[in-house]
Amino acid sequence: MNKDKSNKKSNSNSTSDMMKTSKWFIENGYSDPAQLIDHNGNLDLPEAFIQIFAAYNQHNIRDGKAWDTWPEWELVLTSMKNELHFADSESDTAGILAERQNWLSLVQLMHDSEAVRIDGYTISIEGLHGHQFTFDMFLEHEIWADTWNCGVKHYEYLKEYSKALGPPLKRKETRVVVEHSLEAFWKCPEHVPKYGGQSTKLTHDNRVCIDKEEGNTFPLGMYALIQLCIDDTEIWKIQFEKDLADFEHRVLFDRKWPGGRPEDWEYQ
């Protein structure tokens, strides 16, 4: 019983640390957050979504500190999960607090990093070795997807219907895919240890599947993805090793069934 009370008290303190009202900002010489947010716009667009958090972290931006303040109420205007909208010291669990912190870290990275550019739903990242990576961010479905497959048509749709909350996207249409600036059947960049300069065998286009680790929240997964793209090294090692494993698997199949794989191959 004492342990439960202690945990609740700890959660309460953590939630309180995340909360600041518009009145606090005005009294301390900052702009009223309400004046920095377009409440009538599409706040699911990444740039507008990040601006909600920036408005409530003006003090941290000024001081160069980690963002730690949760928006007062504006997240109800987005597709973020309902349980995250309001900081509540009475009901917030450790999991909710951790996920909020994941979001704060992600939006600060996207706001501060010179490597990250945003256009509509599309996130573009300039890697440290000059390669470009792009994907579309969809808050409603908590997923990133390839711009080639769905981003272009949704972006065009939104230019015509600018007040729509978000793209007419169904989850079954999405894939956790990132586009990169190399050609199909790309060579592993020279700077990558062990594999630099070697050609891939089965990379038929310039897209790669990169999902978040099982158990991670969406913002934590996307934070890791952006860092992976900025690093511009490990991402190529991972994808080259995946291509190598897929090719070896195909060779084994061809040896076992040179005339073609039978329909019941899984049972042989």
What integer is the mean pLDDT of 83-106?
A: 93
CA distance 43 to 166: 9
Token pair belonging to 262: 């039978």
Token pair belonging to 41: 């716009």
Residues in Cβ contact with 246 at an 8 Å cutoff, skipping those fewer than 6 apart: 201, 202
Half-sphere exposure of 147 (CA within 13 A, CB side): 19
Domain ranges of the chain: 1-112, 115-257
Residue-wise pLDDT for 54-92, tens only, equals 999 999 999 999 999 999 999 999 999 999 999 887 888
The predicted structure's pLDDT at residue 16? 63
Of the candidates 191, 163, 180, the one whose C-alpha atom is nearest the C-alpha of residue 239 is 180
The predicted structure's pLDDT at residue 78? 96
Q: What is the DSSP string of 190-218?
A: TTSTTTTTPBPSS--SSEEE-PPPTT--H
**How many other CB atoms sit within 10 Å of the CB of residue 186?**
20
39 vs 145, which has greater pLDDT?
39
Residue-wise pLDDT for 125-162, tens only, equals 999 999 999 999 989 889 898 765 554 445 454 445 44
Residue-wise pLDDT for 180-232, tens only, equals 999 999 999 999 999 999 999 999 888 888 988 889 999 999 999 999 999 99
Instruction: Supply the pTM of this predicted model.
Output: 0.83
Band of the pLDDT at 261, cuts 50, 70, 90? low
For residue 118, report the phi and psi dihedrals to the nearest 5 degrees.
-130, 135
Share of the chain above pLDDT 90, in %: 60
- Is the model's pLDDT at 248 over the cut of 90? no
Of the candidates 124, 121, 133, 123, the one whose C-alpha atom is nearest the C-alpha of residue 159 is 121
Across 63-216, the runs of DSSP E, i.e. the strands, are 116-119, 122-126, 132-138, 143-145, 177-180, 207-209
- Is the model's pLDDT at 172 over the cut of 70? no
- Is the model's pLDDT at 96 over the cut of 60? yes
262 vs 24, which has greater pLDDT?
24
- Is the model's pLDDT at 23 over the cut of 90? yes
Helix (H) or strand (E) holding 89: none
22 vs 157, which has greater pLDDT?
22
Mean pLDDT of the chain: 84
Q: Is 111 exposed, middle or buried (0-12, 13-18, 19+ CB in 10 A)?
A: middle
Token pair belonging to 42: 């599409």
